[in-house]
Amino acid sequence: MTSQEQIAVYLADETKLYQDWYQQVIRSDEDATSQPIATMPSVAELKAMAKEWWQRLYAKNQTVMRKWFCKTPLRHGETACVWWKRIRDISHESRDLIIAIMVDLALAPIIHPSHLEVSVTVIVTNHFLDMVCEGEECGD
């Protein structure tokens, strides 16, 4: 399955998105020899965990993310943040897929390759890019 197809699957199924995110990102960061003893957290709990995960990831990589999203023009001349702010409130699955692919390309050096599709889908659907794109240097 291609990255675009996998992102489309996640956009269509929020439960699968968060369960896969938990298993791929959170469980893989834990000791590989440990065995899960609890049931899968609820989607609400997983969303809260995702928010904490993003805040830690962003804090660690803030300079790189803000440089790429706020300062680097895309092919059409706008920065990623200017483009994101213009289209973020449009409700359309194709828009989320396009943004997720763009974020996939931007965050590939920061996020483990096996986590990219699920991670960028979580980032886009939760509007976590708002944190990256806030401030005067990003066009506010």
Residues 15-23: contacts with CB within 8 Å, 24+ apart?
A: 15/43, 17/118, 17/121, 17/122, 17/125, 18/43, 18/46, 18/47, 18/50, 18/122, 19/46, 20/118, 21/46, 21/50, 21/118, 21/119, 21/121, 21/122, 22/46, 22/49
pLDDT at 13 over 70: yes
Tens of pLDDT, residues 49-100: 999 999 998 999 888 888 888 888 877 788 888 888 888 777 776 777 777 7
Tokens of 85: 């702010």
pLDDT, average across residues 119-127: 85
User: Sorting pLDDT into bands at 50, 70 and 90, what band is 140?
Assistant: low
Supply the pLDDT for residue 1.
80
| pLDDT-above-70 percentage for the chain | 83
Tens of pLDDT, residues 36-54: 556 788 999 999 999 999 9
Supply the pLDDT for residue 118.
86
pTM of the predicted protein model: 0.76
User: Sorting pLDDT into bands at 50, 70 and 90, what band is 17?
Assistant: very high
